[in-house]
Structure 1
Amino acid sequence: MPFSSVRRAVLASALVLGLSPVFAQTAPGTILIGVSGPFSGGSSPMGESMRNGIRLAAEEINNIGGINGRKIELLERDDQASPETGARIAEEFVRRKVVAAIGIVNTGVGLASIDAYQKARIPLMIAVSTGTSLTRKYAPPAAPENYIFRVAPTLDLESRVVVADLKRKGIESAAVLADATAYGEAGLKAVQEQCREAGISLLSEERFRIGDQDMSAQLRRARASGAQALIVWGIGPELAAIARNKEAVGWKVPLVGSWTFSMRNFIDLAGKAGEGVLMPQTFIQDLGSSAKNSFLLAYRRAYKTDSLPSPMSAAQGYDGMHLLHLALRQANSDEGPKIREALENLNSRYQGAITSYTRPFSRQDHEAITQNMLITGVVAAGRVDYAYADDKRRGALLRMKAQ
């Protein structure tokens, strides 16, 4: 699609949503920020929710005068969860001279994109992808400067929470089923490591492809292993198929796994087979602190809906955009090195949807989320709720970054 058509489409979308057309227009003196994510296909609930959170934050920033008097303009591109497309978008953003970028949902897309941002010295704020290696590739001493930041949990943190929960329940063995993507591969490795440390035996390891809808054979093999729980790493549609297949083969063991079990397309497609599934979360939609509620109220006003296809993605996109805003204001510059330095030394505290951020990054640490911020969610009555009373109490508190 020609760029002019893309611009018209994005502008139309912004107007439908009641958002300012600043998101689609090019105007002198604006600050151009690239937004990349899957806005179509199986990963789109994450991508669209993330984009809505980013748009909402950008509009809030523009409504108070922008950044040092300049308005934010979002240059949005659909990466279709394709590493090749994601790499081309990163190169386009570099050519278009964005001052920063935010997005990245799929780990494979991130792995294909980060080199372009790093080489161009353009800060990238990863809002959803949990692939641990994304922020580590250029971390010191591998490179003198690291331009890749994240406001999402890593796979390592997710798997640690999942396995610790199984350990508390006295489970001694598990099976793992992961999708055949970079995300699934990284999740499998993280689960293997955490199970090894926790003394939980992995009796079966199976894979599936994106688009697969019948994993009965893998589940029968996993059941035959004698595993006491099933750990799954993937995204919504395939996760829903696994939940239904598991119910159909009559395997009654706990189903746990990646945060993506919270996606609306899992909950809707899995139906009653998805009830009771456990997953780590940074954000649960309809409970928690007043800060979270104010974010949800703002989301409802902007988009005229209470339904978030992926609440965690929306909250992380929203917080990530506000953290970029603080860094851009502090740097008072379009230069990537100065923005990176500001992110690493933020002098303003920000009360976000997920937590209260005080110096969330440093030169050595580009991860804003630590394990103490994660809570365990459970699918109950068609929505995600707190799995445990302790997590519910913690969810109402400020879960500050562990130092």
Structure 2
Amino acid sequence: MWKNPLCRAALLCAFSLIQSGAYAQASVDNDVIRIGVSGPFSGGSSPMGESMRNGIRLAVEEINSIGGINGKKVQLIERDDQAKNDVGAKIAEEFVQSKVVAAIGIVNTGVGLASIDAYQKAKIPLMIAVSTGTSLTRKYAPPAAPENYIFRISPTLDLEAKTLVADLKRRGLTNAAILADSTAYGDAGLKAFLEQSKLAGLKVVAEERFNIGDTDMSPQVKRAKASNAEALVLWGIGPELAAVAKNKEAEGWKVPLLGSWTFSMGNFIELSGKAGEGALMPQTFIQDLGSASKNGFLLAYQRSFKTSLIPSPMSAAQGYDGMHLLYLAIRQANSTDGTKIKEALENLNSRYQGVITSYSKPFSKQDHDAITQNMVLMATVAKGRVDYAYSDDKKRGALLRLKAQR
């Protein structure tokens, strides 16, 4: 069943994760391969950041348990960007100065936009594990630049918006209202949803915004309701999305609630309570035991982190798969040179059975996004967890979703 030795290691090894001290130091050691990890490990975005980090740690434990990369162990250098753009930019500069071999992380689109220039200039490959901001991998894509060092293993905002619009059409709805936060993520999400709605002939009858930290969006919800929208679409992160869901419930507005993939965050599900039940969102990964690769990953995660419910399953899975793809590229390049690693990522000659999909040449020189539309499905909040929205998707959950031609 387990042809990939790394997947086999997930089941056979009793992982003993070294805690933050071993991960935090940036001391130079020629006997290790140092990978920078950045994400929000505190604050409202922390369920995504911590889950991503755990997925990355789990992958590294597997990699090191079979000898590391070309005989060298992987050392993670972890930094908390606090979901703040300026902090993220400083971390990127720190990683460049300390000469990490590659970096993985980035949860918030604004942080990503503030960070990618440093990696690109230094020719250090960055694997974006969570952020969906479409422009992150496109800024330096040909012909804008001769080389692009920014890769991604999460869906883009365009794919999210397209999936949401398709679901609204599937339900026979002709219009919707959208509420988006005021961050770069909200800006990009609003733009993507408006563009995809126009292409599909769906009318957006109300547009409202809110700020990070806002706890009462009832005025925006009332205006959206007054527009006679047939559905409410949200774009933001857990705490604020939960506040809107509660405002919608208090208003007695019984239309479908859809939104960005961040509805799957543990803090949305916990804070929204029954108001969040039935919320619909796009996902690349559902926490169930539907396939062998998922089963091994989930059992290993539970054993290592002592939890049966991942705060952000999609973040964890993408961090895990992204780290394994970096491993394959560094091994193939047989070098810690950034340009050689980038070229290996663009021409991976090893197929990797991940927990999201089976990766066969996930990147090319022209395309640095590993996820395509066929890998994104609709999920729903049900009984305090994220589940498949449609039984057909659940049946297909164990099937390989190979990268589609764009």
Give the alignment partner of residue 19 of structure 1, picking from 12, 17, 20: 17
The residue number in structure 2 matching 1:183 is 185
Query: Once the two structures are superposed, what CA deviation does each residue of 1:353-402 show, in whole Å capped at 9, x if it has no partner?
Result: 10110000000000000010011101111111101011112212111110
**1:136-185 deviation line (CA, Å, top 9, x unaligned):** 00000000000000000000000000010000111011000000000000
Q: Secondary structure at the match of 2:36?
A: strand
* Equivalent residue number for residue 214 of structure 2: 212
Describe the SS at the equivalent of 1:280: strand
Quick one: distance in 1 between partners of 2:210 and 2:396?
35
User: 1:23 Cα shift?
Assistant: 3.3
Residue 171 of structure 2: aligned partner: 169
Matched letter for residue 172 of structure 1 = T
Map 1:107-126 onto structure 2 (within 5 A).
107-126=109-128
RMSD of equivalent CA atoms = 1.0
Please tell me the residue identity of whatever aligns with 2:23: F
Relative to the length of structure 1, the TM-score reads 0.95
Tell me the SS of whatever aligns to 1:376.
strand
Q: CA shift at 1:286, angstroms?
A: 1.7
2:245 maps to 1:247: no
Aligned 8 A contact 2:189 2:235 in 1: yes
Write the mapping of 1:59-74 to structure 2, written as runs, cut at 5 A. Answer: 59-74=61-76
Q: Following TM superposition, by how much is the alpha carbon of 1:24 offset from its aligned partner in structure 2, in angstroms?
A: 4.6
Say if 1:24 and 1:73, in contact at 8 Å, map to a contact too. no
Could you list the per-position Cα deviations for residues 51-89 of structure 1 after superposition, in whole angstroms to 9, with x for gaps in the alignment? 000011011100100000000010000000001000000
1:392 alignment counterpart: 394
Which ranges of structure 1 fall in alignment gaps of 5 or more residues? 1-16
**CA deviation profile, 1:272-313 (whole Å, cap 9, x unmatched):** 001111000000002421101110011112112212110000
SS in 1 for 2:223: helix
C-alpha distance in 2, partners of 1:63/1:99?
20
Is the Cα–Cα contact under 8 Å of residues 377 and 384 in structure 1 kept in the other structure? yes
For residue 291 of structure 1, the aligned residue among 290, 293, 304 is: 293
What residue in structure 1 maps to residue 152 of structure 2?
A: 150
| Counterpart residue identity of residue 339, structure 2 | P
The residue aligned with 1:236 is: 238
1:322 aligns with 2:320: no
2: CA distance between counterparts of 1:342 and 1:178?
38
Unaligned runs of 5+ in 2: 1-14
Does the CA-based 8 Å contact 2:24-2:79 persist in structure 1?
A: no
Which position in structure 1 is the counterpart of 2:94? 92
Match of 1:376 in 2: 378
Give a deviation string over 1:120-145, Cα, whole Å, max 9, x none: 00000000000000000000000000
How many residues are paired up? 387
In 2: Cα distance, 1:112 partner to 1:163 partner:
29
Asked if 2 retains the 8 angstrom alpha-carbon contact of 1:20 and 1:59, the reply is no
**Corresponding residue for residue 270 of structure 1:** 272
State whether residues 372 and 402 of structure 1, in contact with CA within 8 Å, keep that contact through their aligned partners in structure 2. Answer: yes
Contact 1:51/1:314 (8 A) holds in 2 = yes
Task: Tell me the CA shift for residue 20 of structure 1.
Answer: 3.6
